Structure 1
Amino acid sequence: MSYRIRVPEKVDPLDEAHLLTGVDRFLHVLQEQRRAVLAGLGVVLVAGAVVAGVMWYDYQSTLKARELDQEATLHYLNRPADDPKKSQEQLSQAITLYKQVVDQYPRSPAAPLALFHLGNAQVLANEVDAGIETYKRFMLLYGSNTSLLGLVQQRLAYAYLAKGDRDQAVKAFTGILDIPGALNKDHVLFELAKIEESQSRPEGALAHYQDLMKNYPNSPFTSEAAVRVKVLEVKKAPETPAAAPASAASAPAPQPEQPAKASSGKSTAPASKKKQ
């Protein structure tokens, strides 16, 4: 009878880490990586502090920029009409305050509108060249602001007209028609038509007026455009040849001559013989 020798199974002792619970394992890893964890936590805290500081600074900058913009606008709008000297002083103060907004707080929400108002104030103060540069600066810094970009280019065109540079004005006006979402395209077409009329080019003026009437029928400029179209079409129509001069009036028919009246003298009739 054979005997089978029973060999006991080998059991590997479990690793100590396997016997730990999830929390104990986390604490164990945390203990081993303490320096790295503390360093990462410090980075997170610093980043959070930086973000909070930037947000607080932006908030304070927005408030300050808004206050300056409101003060400048009050000076700009409340100029006395009956006191030119004081009006000029307030306009100068408005220009100074608008410059502070755009120079010190260019990232604030008030900066684009302040820059637009700055250009308007400079042109009004007869600083046309400075106003043109301000409008160009707006186009460079805030060209993505399509709601204001069209108005800025329109003001730029007016500034060029004030300088007598009609070609640059037309270029600025025409550029507005290519701005998606510009709200003043109807006004621009009307201004372009007026420029064409001033240069004695009725065909170009008619094209702009008709474009305005077709694409913007509800525009407040449409009725005036319709009047101008009628006037230009009358001028454009060839003049009717002048009527031939009326033929000379026929001479009156000669009237028959009146018979001459007999003389009043007595005619000598032959004496009749008396009957004897």
Structure 2
Amino acid sequence: MAYKIKETPSKTTHVEAEDILSSKDRFLCWVEENRRLVWGGILLTVVVVVAVITLGWLSQKKHEEAWELQGKAQHIYLDRPMDDVKKAQGNIQAASTLFQEIQEKFSGTRGADVSLFLLGNSLMEEQKIPAAIEKYNELIRSSGGDPIFLGLVQQRLGLAYLLNGDRELALSTWQAILDNPKTLNKDQIVFELAKLAESEEKTQEAVGYYKQLMQNYPLSPFANEAGLRVKILAPEEQKEPSQTESKGGSNEKLEGAENVEKGEKITPK
């Protein structure tokens, strides 16, 4: 009797190609399939990097050119003959032209800010007070982030207001310096207030400011001159200092000194 062997088909498991590929192989396949997109991304990255480097280089070059031209203008501005008024005036005008050029050509750089400040100063020397006020205010609006530089600009602006006859604006501008804890020229502002009071024949107020300058800023370069002014304006206070202290005289505060010490607003007289 013959036996017939029945053949049974072998069971095979269907496996997708993606299941046997590693992540690296799958990535390479994706790159191969999207070759144009990949090269476009690489090219875009290279362009961005080159653009950033180029912009940085151009910005650095712009700052260097501004400082170079600013140094030239400042040299002309400072190198003025004392015995030739006409030539000195010509130097100021030439420097003003360069300062204006820097401010327009290199706007946004630190050199342009300094040039704008010096332009205001040169306009002051040319007796163009309103134009100087405009430049100082423009500088305050554009670069108010540096309190030290801002204090210097406000000091000059206050003086310009004073020369222009705007006493109240001058005092309010100087008060802004005294109110700012980060400014470094408070001693000079107190000295300016003392000189202003003295010029207006307000002797007691002037002495008060001079005293406050000596007490609060003993290391200031203006402290010695303040002491000399007190000796001239109030010589009787120098005769018997020990008796004055015993009577509590050292506790007396004059109006001008009180304003500075207590941080009160300067009240125009």
TM-score range, shorter chain: 0.7 to 0.9
Tell me the equivalent position of 1:117: 118
Q: Which has the higher contact order (CA 8 A, sep 6+)?
A: 2
Tell me the equivalent position of 1:186: 187
| Alignment partners' CA distance in 2, 1:75 and 1:227 | 36
Amino acid at match of 1:155: R
More helix by share: 2
| Alignment partners' CA distance in 2, 1:89 and 1:54 | 38
| Alignment partners' CA distance in 2, 1:136 and 1:90 | 24
Between 212-221 and 222-231, report the one with greater CA deviation: 222-231
Q: Identity of paired residues, percent? A: 38
Q: What's the TM-score, normalizing by structure 2? A: 0.75
User: Larger radius of gyration, structure 1 or 2?
Assistant: 1
Tell me the equivalent position of 2:41: 40
Between 81-90 and 66-75, report the one with greater CA deviation: 81-90
Cα offset, 1:119, TM superposition:
0.7
Amino acid at match of 2:158: A
Tell me the equivalent position of 1:68: 69
Amino acid at match of 1:99: Q
- Check if 1:165 corresponds to 2:162: no
Does the residue aligned with 1:110 lie in a helix, a strand or coil?
helix
| Alignment partners' CA distance in 2, 1:8 and 1:217 | 107
Cα offset, 1:98, TM superposition:
0.7
Number of residue pairs matched by the alignment: 230
Amino acid at match of 1:183: L
Q: What's the TM-score, normalizing by structure 1? A: 0.73
Matches within 5 A, 1:231-270: none
Cα offset, 1:94, TM superposition:
0.6
- Check if 1:49 corresponds to 2:65: no
Tell me the equivalent position of 1:154: 155
Q: 1:228 to 1:91 in 2, by over 3 A?
A: closer
Amino acid at match of 2:136: Y
Please give the per-residue CA displacement for 1:156-206, whole angstroms capped at 9, x wherever unaligned.
122222223322222222221123321211010111122223334455434
Tell me the equivalent position of 1:220: 221
Matches within 5 A, 1:98-117: 98-117=99-118
Cα offset, 1:92, TM superposition:
1.1
| Alignment partners' CA distance in 2, 1:14 and 1:32 | 22
| Alignment partners' CA distance in 1, 2:75 and 2:214 | 38
RMSD: 2.7
| Alignment partners' CA distance in 2, 1:167 and 1:69 | 34
Structure 2 unaligned spans of 5+: 1-7, 238-269
